[in-house]
């Protein structure tokens, strides 16, 4: 284990070209098996992460990626096998042991303390001290500003902001800084879906940082479902399938099709199988809606139609979705659902009228993580399951099982805690909840964020099935190929306004981006709401 140096003489992981490189050794696992009761999560995985290279770790949700990372970081102990650093076995009994060995992980879901500042969150546990219990605020500010500059995030994060005031992207950056500003020299740094909440500028800064880490001899593990990122960054790609190593590929000598075949054991050439449909009756009619975040929104969605909502981060798409669902106040405008006017700020009324929302932050905004799949599925239909004042538990179990089967949720049982499911299966539980309610309108905000290609294909199938059944769907996505494959029309937003609308035949990535980055916001004439 590496001894921590004097905290008053802290080394930097990323000091630029002049920084001394780490030893170009390796970290890895040999013959690792991990069982949770009768469930085997990993089955004899041997995988090396060499220093000075970026290894992408890919696989469907549930393939074993998270379990492998948790073994490397001391959160889990292997049932069999060992962790190896430079060819020598190491015992990692806790995250502190892993950190002392130079192994860091930046988790997908940031753990931010809400009532303290960014600076204090970054240095939690190692605040510079002045006397006794008092920490040195001036020194803390000096350190954090220097680290923001060094890591390429200057101007993106205000060190004085409270954790509760941070956006999802800013919370992710705090986690990245926390991992990269420790006192022990890093040997391996793992990034778990780090760009899921970042803007284009922030992604560019992160990629530059990862390349500097690699050039210093650090082993970088990069977990992502975004193929474009993988081919931009990775030197080699390791694929897990069903808890086993399916293969390791040279990133410069493989392609997306081969990786998909390794991940799922089959081709996914029919990911988007929707045929052109004739829209039915007008179901959702939004006229002139204005909130704190959006202005003068006109939007219509018909039965059996999938309308895509595109735009860059900060365009106001998620805020519009929350306002339509009654979760954010509406200052003016009218929302009509199947002929019924919805009063603003009344989410219960919106649900009863037939509107469902699967929000972007499923863990924070949609799921009861410590409750069962059964509880999460039935929560919006309890009024239909009650007899007198009691919930009919048998009917509740049958309902949950029906949608677990229909959506192919991978789980031991409907009593399994939702927090223990993979991201793709958690998203299916959110969909199960609204399908049980039988909505007329379903708004899906980033429905495939952080899930693998196999689960994506299943989510796309579900969306196509719902449209075929006559549900009106509004799909928000930052992945343009996804919108182009799913949507009958694409509505584009920028700075809280609609800048244009494109039919399926005229929508391209270039035309969507042109509207998303338009310098001049076009008024109501260009919002192009179709009737």
pLDDT in 10s for each residue of the chain, 531 residues: 433 333 333 333 343 333 333 344 689 999 999 988 877 889 999 999 999 999 999 887 678 888 999 999 999 999 999 999 988 899 999 988 988 888 988 887 778 888 888 888 888 767 777 666 677 788 888 888 888 888 777 777 888 889 888 877 778 778 878 877 765 677 899 998 888 767 777 788 788 888 988 998 889 999 987 888 899 999 999 999 888 999 999 999 998 888 878 887 655 556 676 666 677 899 999 999 999 999 999 999 999 999 999 988 778 999 999 999 999 999 999 999 999 999 988 998 999 999 999 988 888 888 888 999 999 898 888 888 888 888 888 888 898 899 888 888 888 899 999 988 877 888 889 988 888 888 999 999 998 877 777 778 888 888 888 899 899 999 999 888 889 889 999 999 998 999 999 998 899 888 888 888 765 444 434 333 333
The strand ranges marked E within 173-319 are: 188-192, 219-223, 236-241, 244-250, 282-290, 297-302, 306-310
Task: Provide the strand spans (E) within 166-268.
Answer: 188-192, 219-223, 236-241, 244-250
pLDDT given for residue 184 in this prediction: 62
* Contact (CB, 8 A) for 197 and 169: yes
Backbone angles phi, psi at 400, to 5 degrees: -60, -45
Residue 412: C-alpha distances to residues 241, 404, 405, 452 (Å):
18, 11, 12, 20
- Which tokens hold the place of 328? 């954010």
Ramachandran quadrant class, 431 (left: phi over 0; alpha: psi -120 to 50; beta: rest): alpha
Name the pairing type of β-strands 129-131 and 332-337. Answer: unpaired
Residue 395: C-alpha distances to residues 245, 386, 417, 468 (Å): 41, 9, 19, 27
How many helices and strands (H and E) does the chain possess?
17, 24
The three-class DSSP label of residue 58 is strand
How many residues comprise the chain? 531
The pLDDT of residue 148 is: 85
Please tell me the distance from the alpha carbon of residue 511 to that of residue 507, in angstroms, as a whole number: 6
Q: Three-state SS for 239?
A: strand
The pLDDT value given to residue 480? 83
Closest to 32 (Cα-Cα) out of 70, 77, 80:
80
Cβ atoms 14, 214 nearer than 8 A? no
User: How far, rounded to the nearest angstrom, does the alpha carbon of residue 362 sit from its chain's CA centroid?
Assistant: 9
Which token pair is 283? 């179901």
pLDDT recorded at residue 19: 32
Q: How far is CA 254 from the centre of its chain?
A: 26
pLDDT at 25: 67
Backbone angles phi, psi at 238, to 5 degrees: -105, 130
For 498, the 3-state DSSP assignment is strand
Phi/psi of residue 523, nearest 5 degrees: -75, -155
Show Cβ contacts of residue 135 under 8 Å, excluding neighbours closer than 6 positions.
127, 128, 129
Considering only CA atoms, which of 26, 74, 337, 8 is closest in space to residue 188?
A: 26
Question: Could you give the angle at which helices 137-151 and 168-180 cross, rounded to 10 degrees?
Answer: 100
DSSP code for 419: G
Helix (H, G, I), strand (E, B) or coil at 286: strand
Residue 48 pairs in a beta bridge with 28
Which two structure tokens, joined as six digits, stand for 76? 């889990």
Of the chain, the end-to-end C-alpha distance in Å amounts to 67
Alpha helices by DSSP H, 300-356: 317-324, 347-353
d(CA 276, CA 381): 32
Rg (C-alpha) for the chain, rounded Å, is 24
Measured CA to CA, the distance from residue 287 to residue 529 in angstroms comes to: 9
Q: Are strands 134-135 and 188-192 parallel, antiparallel or unpaired?
A: unpaired
**Exposure of 9 in the CB half-sphere (CA atoms within 13 A):** 3
Contact 328, 291 (CB under 8 A): yes
All domains in the chain, ordered by first residue: 51-77+93-112+167-264 (3.40.50.300), 113-165 (no CATH), 282-526 (3.40.50.300)
pTM of the model: 0.59
Other beta carbons less than 10 A from residue 485's beta carbon: 17
CA distance 487 to 302: 12
Which pLDDT score, from 0 to 100, does residue 388 have? 81
Report the alpha-carbon distance of residue 531 to residue 521 in Å, rounded: 22
Q: At 248, phi and psi to the nearest 5? A: -125, 125
Rounded to an integer, what distance in angstroms lies between the CA atom of residue 345 and that of residue 199? 29
Of the candidates 170, 454, 466, 474, the one whose C-alpha atom is nearest the C-alpha of residue 299 is 474
């Amino acid at each position: 284990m590496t001894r921590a140096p004097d905290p008053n003489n802290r080394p930097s992981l990323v000091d630029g070209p002049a920084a001394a490189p780490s030893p170009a050794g390796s970290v890895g696992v040999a013959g690792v098996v991990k069982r949770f009761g009768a469930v085997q999560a990993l089955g004899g995985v041997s995988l090396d992460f060499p220093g000075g290279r970026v290894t992408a770790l890919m696989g469907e949700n549930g393939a074993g990626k998270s379990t492998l990372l948790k073994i490397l970081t001391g959160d889990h102990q292997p049932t069999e096998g060992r962790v190896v650093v430079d060819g020598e076995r190491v015992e990692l009994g806790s995250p502190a042991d892993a950190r002392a060995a130079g192994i860091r992980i930046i988790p997908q879901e940031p753990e931010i303390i809400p009532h303290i500042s960014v600076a204090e969150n970054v240095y939690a546990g190692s605040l510079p001290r002045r006397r006794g219990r008092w920490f040195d605020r001036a020194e803390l500010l000096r350190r954090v500003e220097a680290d923001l500059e060094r890591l390429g995030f200057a101007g993106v994060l205000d060190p004085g902001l409270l954790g509760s005031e941070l956006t999802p992207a800013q919370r992710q950056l705090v986690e990245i800084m926390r991992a990269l500003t420790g006192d022990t020299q890093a040997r391996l740094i793992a990034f778990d879906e780090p760009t899921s909440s970042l803007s284009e500028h922030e992604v560019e800064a992160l990629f530059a940082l990862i390349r500097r880490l690699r050039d210093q001899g650090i082993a970088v593990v990069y977990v992502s479902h975004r193929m474009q990122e993988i081919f931009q960054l990775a030197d080699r790609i390791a694929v897990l399938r069903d808890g086993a190593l399916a293969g390791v590929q040279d990133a410069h000598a493989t392609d997306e099709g081969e990786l998909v075949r390794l991940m799922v054991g089959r081709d996914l050439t029919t990911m988007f199988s929707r045929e052109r449909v004739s829209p039915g009756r007008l179901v959702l009619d939004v006229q002139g809606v204005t909130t704190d975040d959006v202005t003068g929104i006109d939007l219509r969605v018909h039965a059996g139609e999938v309308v895509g909502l595109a735009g860059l981060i900060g365009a106001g798409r998620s805020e519009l979705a929350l306002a339509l669902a009654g979760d954010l106040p509406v200052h003016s405008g009218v929302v009509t659902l199947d002929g019924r006017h919805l009063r603003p700020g009344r989410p219960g009324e919106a649900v009863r009228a037939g509107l469902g929302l699967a929000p972007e932050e499923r863990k924070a905004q949609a799921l009861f993580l410590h409750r069962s799949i059964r509880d999460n599925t039935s929560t919006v239909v309890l009024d239909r399951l009650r007899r007198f004042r009691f919930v009919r538990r048998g009917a509740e179990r049958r309902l949950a099982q029906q949608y677990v089967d229909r959506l192919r949720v991978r789980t031991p049982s409907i009593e399994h805690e939702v927090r223990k499911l993979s991201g793709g299966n958690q998203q299916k539980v959110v969909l199960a909840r609204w399908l049980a309610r039988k909505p007329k309108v379903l708004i899906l905000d980033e429905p495939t964020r952080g899930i693998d290609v196999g689960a994506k294909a299943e989510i796309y199938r579900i969306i196509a099935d719902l449209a075929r059944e006559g549900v009106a769907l509004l799909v928000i996505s930052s992945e343009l190929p996804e919108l182009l494959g799913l949507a009958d029309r694409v509505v584009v937003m920028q700075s809280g306004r609609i800048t244009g609308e494109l039919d399926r035949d005229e929508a391209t990535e270039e035309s969507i981006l042109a509207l998303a980055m338009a310098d001049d916001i076009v008024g109501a004439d260009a919002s192009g709401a179709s009737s």
